[in-house]
Structure 1
């Protein structure tokens, strides 16, 4: 005594199951594609930010410390030789406190701030990359 449903009911059940499986695979592929693009974009942003953040931080800190170092040397050289003092004063006077490149104003503080922002972008990129890799 075999308890199977009639063939027309079995066909309907299998047909609906096949449609669900195929729509599931299409939606799964679309979802995987979207998460792959997100993973790529945020991983790329993370890599670029990790590369540039230390560079901007070091440039900003160096540029902000350099005038103080030159002034310290100038005051210590003031008692030594008047000609050396004049040269050091000239060097101290030629150090810019900002750069204007096109419409961009670059200062030591802005370089440091940009470096910190890039570190934040790297952290966000790592987090979203990990989430998207988990969802793929």
Structure 2
């Protein structure tokens, strides 16, 4: 009787080079680490800058938004007081601007609040991206 044809399978030798990242040349790993390090620096720098400026803009916007209401309540309280004090408070209330134009940029109280919130979101994104970049270094 004839034996059925058997396929012969051979195992690759144990000394076959692997093609994963761990066998890449040293220079390639060094360049990869350098790129991830620069990305980590940029993300972390943006995060730190946003964490510094966000509270300043947010507080400045809230104070600017609340200032006319505070001065208005003072003028109502001073209405029964001295007329000179009432006039002084009225002139201060009229001197508070609703917007300021600096170098062509229109700044408002609501705009500063919104910018502070956006900078907080940017700080969170920078922290997330810095963590991802740090794990890849």
5+ residue gaps, structure 2, are 1-14
Alignment match, 2:4 = none
C-alpha distance after superposition, 1:76-114 (max 9, x if no partner): 100112111111100100011100112100000111111
Question: Matches of 1:86 and 1:109 in 2, distance apart?
Answer: 28
* Residue pairs, 1:72-91, within 5 angstroms: 72-91=73-92
What TM-score results when the alignment is normalised by the length of structure 2? 0.82
Say whether residues 1:96 and 2:107 are aligned partners: no
Please identify which structure carries the higher helix content: 1
Aligned to 1:10: none
CA distance change for structure 1 residues 21 and 79 in 2, over 3 Å: closer, same or farther?
A: closer
1:29: how far off?
A: 1.5
1:105 counterpart SS class: strand
> Which residue matches 1:59?
60
Q: What is the alpha-carbon root mean square deviation over aligned residues? A: 1.9
TM-score, normalising length from structure 1?
A: 0.82
Provide the rounded CA distance (Å) in 2 between the counterparts of 1:55 and 1:102: 20
Task: Write out the 4+ residue segments of structure 1 that deviate beyond 2 Å after TM superposition.
Answer: 20-27
How many angstroms does 1:26 deviate by? 2.4
Give ranges in structure 1 of 5+ residues lacking alignment.
1-12
